[in-house]
Amino acid sequence: MATTSASAAEPGYGTVKHGDVESFKPSDDDEVRELNESGPTSEASSIHVQDGVRRVEAITTVWSKKTMTVMFVLLYLVSFVDTLLQSVQGALSPYVTSNFKVHGLIGVTDVLSFILGGVCTLAIAKIIDIWGRAEGFAVMIVFIIVGMIMKAACINIEMYTAANSIYWVGHIGVQYVIQIMYADMTTLRNRMVLFGVLQLPSIAATFGGPKIADLFYTHANFRWAFGAFCIIMPVFAAPVLVIFWWAKLKAQREGKFPERVKARSYYETCKHYAIEFDVVGMLLTIFGWSLLLLPFSLVNYAPNGWKTGYIIAMIVVGFVLLVAFVIWEKYFAIVQYFPFKHLKDRSVLGACLLYGFMFLSIFTWDTYYYSYLQVVHDLSITNASYTLNAFSLMSSVIGPLTGVLIRYYGYYKWPSIGMTPFAILGTALLIHFRTPSSHVGYLVMCQLFSGIYSGVWAATAQLSVMANVTHQETAVAIALFGLFGSIGAAIGQAVAGGLWTNVLPRELYKNLPTELKSNASAIYADLEVQLSYPMGSPARDAIIVSYGHVQRLMVIVGCCFLPICIACLFMWKNLNVKDMETKERRKKGNVL
């Protein structure tokens, strides 16, 4: 399954209203970036370049092509391990929630994770712009490890949800920082080729992850699977940090590394970063979206459904907090958390909206697809994951090919529009084929169609964002891009969770044999209980019919967002990245 990291997602620091962010004076070469009609646009004639950007530009001046190649390979390996972990934990997630007798809350755990991960990406952008790429990379690795430790030790669904949220911030953050590092080391024309190569680990993870998950679940348990990656991840991440540390020392010896001026007290430092990271804006965003979306998945567990007081309160308070966020950002925030200025560019806005609505559509019909494949088509953990991940497999294959096409063709708008038939076929055909009587091969076909269009759209939309901002603004612009994807995915999860928790229990009670109607709640709550009834038995047939009905509704709703995605494509400018390469190579440092 594609993620919202950029699968899913760079540095940016928001819009500064008053004062500078750091107390250093940029050199004239870095401070002024000439812009023309074929490149990024800006309201100002000069761009303030932050410490993290200046440091990475200094580092790239001291390493050789050989060192850069080694860094490419090491980052690729870290991306592979992280993608493999995502595949393993994704395959085990339904069994973890079923272990706590709340299989229907898969959507809830993911809604929180996607919102938190998306919102924190803009904060990560600030970290790597102000402090540095290596520092941000290290922090994200720590988040992954802490999340995995908590998952291995979780004793209830609340702890698992918290662990999943922490892990997801680290997962999104690592992929995001790696993309920014790749962006630092490449020109725009070659960047999509490398970004495409960065997706190739998904191919191995598609086949390896489910099998690893199956082996752990069969011969040990899900806790050992999570614990193993607490050791594996830091082993692969450490060499990246060592190379950055070595390059930093070399740049310092040559006098090229800008040191941070420490002129603030501890209190002033805390106040400075509270303002710089716009903590109020972040909290309003996280709580606003969470409270607005979670009731759709929780309502079936509320005593009086939609009439329950806390369900109504969550929706109202969530909406009020989001309105308060807009007011805060516009009138009170000294440093804006949300970079509104980038959305004034129609290409950036169109790309962000496309990414958000694309994931909204996909996650509406994808969230419970894994359970559907096991229950309806009686597939094993491994085979269900293979079918589900055909999407990611095709997306990973098409990514590098898209990069090569754009490298030689230059234009990215029309290849994106050309994917419209695949988008329509991949999603609309699911309405016909996602039925209990359909062969699994047709479902795989639809997954492949969806992987083709989503792989191209994700790559070209990201390029549309990067082509319309400067190097200094690249990180925050891509973070904004990732935020739209995360919010779209979270809304999709909420829609799917709402349909699942409101429709499936009713359908189960209606379709189950009379003697099993009293067990409808227990059957709904546990995937293993559903799978315990043999294929062909009256109980299993009733469960299959119920699954088929709710899944059909999910696909129909997902299809409704496709026209919006297609409309967003026509908002893009038709830029040629080949024409922009000469100017970009003037950037300091050795780049590919």
The pLDDT value recorded for residue 33 is 34
The pLDDT value recorded for residue 525 is 82
Give bridge partners of residue 16 from the DSSP assignment: 335
DSSP run (H or E) holding 335: strand 335-336
Q: For 487-536, how does the pLDDT look when each residue is reduced to its tens digit (9 = 90+)? A: 898 889 888 888 888 899 999 999 999 888 888 888 988 888 899 999 99
Structure tokens at 4: 């919202």
Question: Could you tell me the pLDDT band of residue 3, with boundaries at 50, 70 and 90?
Answer: very low
DSSP run (H or E) holding 139: helix 133-153
Burial (0-12, 13-18, 19+ Cβ within 10 Å), 366: buried
The pLDDT value recorded for residue 274 is 79
Instruction: List Cα–Cα distances, 519 to 218, 451, 510, 539, in angstroms.
Output: 27, 38, 12, 11
Which CATH class, in words, describes the domain spanning 48-259+266-278+333-579?
mainly alpha
- Rounded to an integer, the average pLDDT of 336-351 is 81
How far apart CA 342 and CA 26 sit, in angstroms, is 23
Cα 6 to the center of its chain, rounded Å: 6
Lowest mean pLDDT among 113-117, 335-339, 477-481: 335-339
How far apart CA 285 and CA 338 sit, in angstroms, is 10
- Rounded to an integer, the average pLDDT of 213-221 is 84
Instruction: Give the Cβ contact number of residue 304 at 10 Å.
Output: 10
Q: For 457-475, how does the pLDDT look when each residue is reduced to its tens digit (9 = 90+)? A: 988 998 888 888 776 677 7
Q: For 141-152, how does the pLDDT look when each residue is reduced to its tens digit (9 = 90+)? A: 999 999 999 998
The pLDDT value recorded for residue 14 is 31
How far apart CA 52 and CA 31 sit, in angstroms, is 14
The pLDDT value recorded for residue 43 is 38
Question: Could you tell me the pLDDT band of residue 567, with boundaries at 50, 70 and 90?
Answer: very high
Question: Could you tell me the pLDDT band of residue 355, with boundaries at 50, 70 and 90?
Answer: very high
First and final C-alpha spacing in the chain:
30
Domain ranges of the chain: 48-259+266-278+333-579, 279-332
Mean pLDDT score of the chain: 80
